[in-house]
Structures are given as C-alpha cells and as structure tokens.
Amino acid sequence: MLTNRRILLGIGGGIAAYKVCTVASTLAQAGAEVRAILTEKAQAFVTPLTFATLCRHRAYTDADFWHAIPDRSEASLRYRPLHIELGEWAEVLLLAPLTANTLAKLTYGLADNLLMNTVLASRCPILLAPAMNTDMWEQAIVQQNWQHLTADPRYHWAEPGSGRLACDRVGAGRMAEPATLVVHLQSLLYTQGQRDLQGKQVLINAGGTQEYLDPVRYLGNPSTGKMGVALAQAAQHRGAQVTLVHGPLLGIDPAMLVGMKTVATTTAEEMQQAMLSNFPRADFIFLAAAVADCKPATYHPQKLAKQDLPNPLPLTPVPDIAATLGQQKRPHQYLVGFAAQTGDVVAPALGKLRQKKLDAIAANPIDQPGTGFGSDTNQAVLLDRHGRQQIIEPCSKLEFAHRLLDFVQQHPPDSH
C-alpha cells in the first residue's frame, strides 16, 4: 500500500516531532517516496539532516522557500516555485505535530512560511496529528479552530491521546503514535480521502473468546484480533463511528484504538451481551471475532488439581452470536460474517451465510501461508446473499478491510 506512493511530512515545533522520525523511517523502508518540510520552530527539536537521512531525500526549510526547482514533468530545464512543486507532488500530507499556532494558521488560511504555502498549493488529503499541553488543547479558541478545520472534508485527523505529557501534565494532548499515523496514511492513500461511511455506525467484534474451566484453564483459540482491529481502523478512517467489542487482543497497542468506542469482553456470553446492547444503533456489523463453539459444562471457582480434572471433559454450547443477530437484523442493517476454513472454503461459507441469515461473508482459507491466526496478511473469497463472489488475493489486513468495505457498500442496506 506504500510502495512508490508520494507522502509529504510537515513537521511542526513541538517535542513530539521526534515521533515523526519513526514515521519517516517506516514509510521510506516500506518503499514510499517521502519528503519533509520543517518549520523554523521544528528545527529546535529535530534537524533537517535527520529527516534527509530517514527520508533518503533532502529535507526542506524556510531557507529553501524562494529556491525554484526543476519541473519534474518537463524534459527541459524549466524551474518552478518549491511550494507549488511539492504541493502538486504529494498524494497525502501529514502535519505532525500540529501545534496550536499551525492549527490557527490553517483555520484562517495564512501562508507565512514554506509549509503553509505548500498546504495552500496542494489538493491532496491532509492528516492532522495535534500535540500540545492539555490546557492549550482544551482552550475554547483552540477547540473552535479544531472543529472548524475538521468540518472541512479535505482534513482528516488522528485524535490526540491522554497520558503524562512532556510537561508532566496528565491529560489529553499526546500526539498519536507513529504506527497509528502510518496506518491512517495507508488508508488515505487507498480511499483518496473519501469519507463514504460518514454518519454511519459500524459495530465490529474481534479477537478470541476464552471459556474457563477454573481460574487458570480455559478453552480458546489463537486469534489475536488483528483482522477486527484493521476493520475498525479502516471504517473509522472512512468517517464511521466505530464500536469495537473485543476479546483479549494480542500484540495490539491500545493507542491504535483511540477515537473509537471499545468494549472488552472475555467469554462468548459477555461478547453476545455487548453485541446485542450495541446492535440496534448499528448500520454495518462485522463479525470478525473467533468465538468459541462450546465451553466446559461446569466452572470450578478454585483451581482443580491435575488428578481432579474431568476426563472426559463435559462441554456445553455457547451462544451463537451470528445466528442471534441474523434473527434480529432490521432491513437497514448489513450483517457480515467470517468463516475460517481449511480445504474448500466456499461451500461451508455459503451454508453459514444462509443458515445464519447474513448479508455477506468472508471465507478465509486459514491453511494457506500467511493467512492463519495472528498473521499480518489475509485473503478470502467474499460472498453475498445476492450471489456475488469476489476474490481478495493475499494482502495486508488493512487493505483487506478496505476491500471488504468496498464490497459491502456496492449493495448497501438501503438497497435491499
């Protein structure tokens, strides 16, 4: 999703500028073409040489403002202003850290440095990553500027997190983590900034469930929750209000979930209750969790000695979340399931689609390389109740999520 894509970084004057070094390095190592503009204040925290090294290309400052560069589209030497060339070159622009000063300039369209002139000379999607002291962030005028800017469809944002800031203040204002920014940039490159899920409520479950025999033993599976989290991120980046109901997540930074409602559960029964509670408000529902099929018939509140373990172990079914939601689904709702299969994936998935009254299903061949539990990639055959089929070749789980969102929106709920 990043190879040969053109990404422009605008670095502002704040201590969080050091995080953008990781963003630049990650993007460049993934094959992207990366350029960086540092404001005058940014150079008090990081240097142009640092970004030139990480981006594999010279970094720009206000000292370069009036230095024209060769037109990349011309065979002959025709020179153009730098801010025009960079603005037209970029496919996506990241402003990080976004300071209160730059936020105000954006709001009023000021252009008093290279970065701001480049913003006004560009037409690509812009990702904003605010970072500032909590009291600054919560000032009424800053919030007014923020609301004004985020109402513009060209601007997208990675909400600041909360925690201990560099000034030792505890509260909101921490810039989004580099991994979060990289994922969001990938989404914007895929969607070209379209918010086609604006105003929609998306409900997703993710991760495995754990059904306990006693306080230390349980029936479970190796699901990490990566696919469901990728779906949640993709939907959020496309403008949806996302609720993620999840079991234990493995190897996933909670910072990746900032800005969405999350409900942590452990057992299938807890997950079902959380899904039913949030189901009535949802427009799209994705059942990406690996929910247990059964549980120990009896829970023992004290750890059983090895010699006391039941043999055989009596089991009892757990609630069928997909079937329950399929029975309660309203006409405006679109319910999507997942079927992790070995061997023939299509026939069992079609059976599950019809039996559980789903609108669509993703049939995953988990016996293929790079597509099992815990992998960073996925592939599937997508099927819907109208008989459509679409193959998603192996790709990252984020790209898979976007392709699935494209598929379900080709037959939106309102068209049923």
Tell me the three state secondary structure of residue 368: coil
Rounded distance between C-alpha atoms, residue 154 and residue 126, angstroms: 6
Residue 10 and residue 94 in contact, taking contact as beta carbons nearer than 8 Å: yes
Task: Using alpha carbons, list the distances in angstroms from residue 110 to 10, 103, 105, 114, 119.
Answer: 15, 10, 5, 11, 10
DSSP string, 249-302: -SS--GGGGTTSEEEE--SHHHHHHHHHHHGGG-SEEEE--B--SEEESS--SS
- CA neighbor of 212 nearest in space, from 268, 147, 133, 250: 268
145 phi and psi, to 5 degrees?
-60, -40
* Secondary structure class of 93 (helix, strand, coil): strand
Q: For the chain, what is the radius of gyration of the CA atoms?
A: 24
Name, in order, each residue with C-beta under 8 angstroms of 330's C-beta and a sequence gap of 6 or more: none
Q: For the chain, what's the residue count?
A: 416
Cα 384 from Cα 361, distance rounded (Å):
6
3-state helix, strand, coil in the chain (%, to 5): 35, 25, 40
- Strand 201-206 with 217-219, pairing: unpaired
Active-site option among 21, 55, 124, 167: 167
124 as an active site residue: the answer is no
Pair 172, 134: CB distance under 8 Å: yes
Torsion angle defined by CA atoms of residues 76, 79, 84 and 90, in that order, rounded to the nearest 10 degrees? 50
What distance in Å separates the CA atoms of residue 104 and residue 136, rounded to the nearest whole number?
12
Q: Report the 10 Å Cβ neighbour count for 69.
A: 14
Which residue numbers are catalytic? 167
